[in-house]
Amino acid sequence: MPPYTGWIAADLPDNRAIAEAFQLLGDLLQLEGADRHRVLAYHRAATRAREEARPLAELALQGRATEVADIGTTLQAKIVELAETGRIAALETARERTPEGLVEVAGLRGLGPKRAMAAHETLGVASLRDLGAALHDGRLADVPGFGKGTIESIGEQLAERAMRAAAPGGERIPLGRGLLIARRLSRELAEAPGVISVDIAGSLRRGRESAHDVDLVASEEHPGAAAAALGASPGSVGDDGVTHARAQAGDGTWVELIAGPAESHGNRLQHATGSAAHNVRLRERAVRLGLSVSQHGIVDADGVRHVHADEAGVYRALGLPDIPPELREDRGEIEAALRDELPQLVRLEDLRGDVHIHTDWSDGRDSLEDMVVAARARGYAYVAISDHSPRLRMARGLDERRLRAQWEAIADVRERHPDITILRACEVDIVAEGLDFEDDVLAELDFVTASLHSGFALSGRELTERVLRAIRSPHVDSIGHPTGRMLGKRDAAPLDIGAIAEAAATTGTALEINGQLNRLDLDADNARTALDAGATLILSSDAHSVMGLDFVENSVLVARRAGAPPDRILNATADLGGRLLAP
Ligand SMILES: [Zn+2]
Ligand SMILES: [Zn+2]
């Protein structure tokens, strides 16, 4: 037997190509419902091929690929076949039987091989594209095993993919999704042995709309504990016990970790939160004070290093109050801090209620009562049931008859839950004629959110006109997701935000910061414009499920970035700006 040389012939398939062939063959067999062990054998071999350093094709041609674990004689023969003919017959016939595009369909969360095949057999779905089309025209509901929740989740996942594909560079993570990942990772990491505490840092903490990666800062009992828990090997350990590590989370997101002793946690967190421009300004200030500041601590004129367990300590050492992360962009925050003029920013706990939520009366997932109970559990004093109006047929918008029926349901729930104020509300469509309900119906509601869901092909002038008309309606309390943007799918409508903000300030109509992952609308710049014009903001989850109530946290972050104090937020007031009768 010739000795292994490590040389790979140019025309031999590399290990990656072998892994891909085995992976696909396993996936297709799984779709067809083949024996579990057979499927597993191909998937194991694919993993092995990806990890193996030696060239498998060459080993197989020498009859030695069986030395590699998980590769038996059958699989070795397939590698030889691929090396000699450029194809694997079994894979080609499987491909003829089952469309390859179904693998991606089956890979969606909550779908799996059975449902993917059902969609294929019932509707001829052969790819994600087909699936999207079937979802769009409502045919998916005909497929056995496709309940409302499944279909909704498919819609979300397809939108997420579109968003990722359309993101600039295809790489940036949108704020909402980034925070979900960061919160999950930091929670898991905080529970790992040897890890004392974990904080989210970087642009996600500052509330920027998208991030390159997830930045985490940890304090640990011994160097390397946090990195190990993340599945990364720590690089070199500094003499102050600080390590840096980089790892990829399961969904492909990159995580940047700085870990070290608890007593210097504040220095690392301050450094890793940034922004770069803010940190430059901070270093300049330190130099003027005869200090030098870095992630390792603050070194004084005598060369003595001082460390800080929390960020406030770092800022204090530089003669500054703790500057909120959302303001650290070098937009005058250090000067404002020196003048003691930093705004008091709205916090999640300032919110007294959520006035934009949906129930299963329209396109929400959970029942009216479940949503009320969840709102109460969050400590809210009020919640507004604001399902869609009739024009939004795709979202099963309520007509007047069903709206009135909902009021009876609300009356029932009110009796069972007297400890929270339940408002009769709606999210009424802004349409060409004005609003999608007659004035007398709107007049009977406790709270009205008016939103654009269509007409985005119109000019900015025409759309602005429509929104202004809604603002002037005496029945409209707030404008929902004002610019209508869908991150990665649809840009903000070219509205005259200045004019809208002025009109809203005059009428007392609130402008929403919608916390949906793909909306975040108004964005921080527009919200700042609104505040400057004297308008009031409202922070809404636009929840379509109990879980969705959490999205209001994104609204809070955007509002803080805009510099919004609680007294400019309508739902931070106990009486919803005078709309609730005193108890
Ligand atoms: Zn809406
Ligand atoms: Zn909504």
Quick one: 353 and 327 in the same domain? no
Quick one: 192 and 289 in the same domain? yes
Quick one: 258 and 355 in the same domain? no
Quick one: 398 and 418 in the same domain? yes
**DSSP string covering 406-448:** HHHHHHHHHHH-TTSEEEEEEEEEEETTEESS-HHHHHT-SEE
What pLDDT is recorded for position 10? 47
Two tokens at 415?
């009796």
- Mean predicted confidence (pLDDT) in 63-92: 91
**Residues 252, 253, 254, 255: what is their CA dihedral angle, to the nearest 10 degrees?**
-130
Tell me the per-residue pLDDT of 475-524, one tens digit each, with 9 for 90 and over: 999 999 999 998 878 889 999 999 999 999 999 999 999 999 889 999 99
Tell me the per-residue pLDDT of 330-352, one tens digit each, with 9 for 90 and over: 999 999 999 999 999 999 999 99
Domain membership of residue 577 (yes or no) is no
Domain membership of residue 483 (yes or no) is yes
Quick one: 109 and 253 in the same domain? no
Least distant ligand from the CA of 453: 1
Distance 381 CA to ligand 1 centre (A): 23
Give the Cβ contact number of residue 579 at 10 Å. 15
| Residue of 349, 330, 328 whose CA lies nearest to 206 | 328
Quick one: 370 and 438 in the same domain? yes
Where among 288, 311, 338 does a domain terminate? 338
**CATH code of residue 195:** 3.30.460.10
Domain membership of residue 582 (yes or no) is no
What pLDDT is recorded for position 583? 42
Least distant ligand from the CA of 384: 2
Domain membership of residue 475 (yes or no) is yes
Where among 97, 115, 149 does a domain terminate? 97
- Judge whether residue 154 has pLDDT over 90: no
Quick one: 373 and 504 in the same domain? yes
What pLDDT is recorded for position 582? 46
Quick one: 87 and 106 in the same domain? no
Distance 159 CA to ligand 2 centre (A): 17
Where among 304, 338, 372 does a domain terminate? 338
Quick one: 196 and 141 in the same domain? no
Give the whole-angstrom CA distance, residue 325 versus residue 305. Answer: 24
Domain membership of residue 9 (yes or no) is no
Placement of tokens 């003919």 in the chain: 85
Q: Which domain holds residue 60?
A: 15-97
What's the pLDDT band for 153 if we cut at 50, 70, 90?
Answer: confident
Least distant ligand from the CA of 363: 2
What is the chain's mean pLDDT, rounded? 90
What pLDDT is recorded for position 165? 56
Q: Which percentage of the chain shows pLDDT scores above 90? A: 65
Number of domains in the chain: 4
Quick one: 66 and 152 in the same domain? no
Tell me the per-residue pLDDT of 213-228, one tens digit each, with 9 for 90 and over: 899 999 999 999 999 8
**CATH code of residue 160:** 1.10.150.20
- Judge whether residue 236 has pLDDT over 80: no
Domain membership of residue 580 (yes or no) is no
Tell me the residues surrounding ligand 1 (ion) with CB < 5 Å.
451
What are the Cα distances from residue 532, in Å, to 329, 459, 499, 504, 535?
19, 25, 12, 12, 7
Distance 399 CA to ligand 1 centre (A): 16
Distance 75 CA to ligand 1 centre (A): 53
Max CA pair span of the chain: 92
What pLDDT is recorded for position 422? 97
Q: Which percentage of the chain shows pLDDT scores above 70? A: 95
**CATH code of residue 538:** 3.20.20.140
Distance 375 CA to ligand 1 centre (A): 19
Give the whole-angstrom CA distance, residue 501 versus residue 471. Answer: 10
Least distant ligand from the CA of 484: 1
Distance 427 CA to ligand 1 centre (A): 7
Domain membership of residue 578 (yes or no) is no
Quick one: 123 and 93 in the same domain? no
Quick one: 320 and 356 in the same domain? no
Distance 436 CA to ligand 1 centre (A): 13
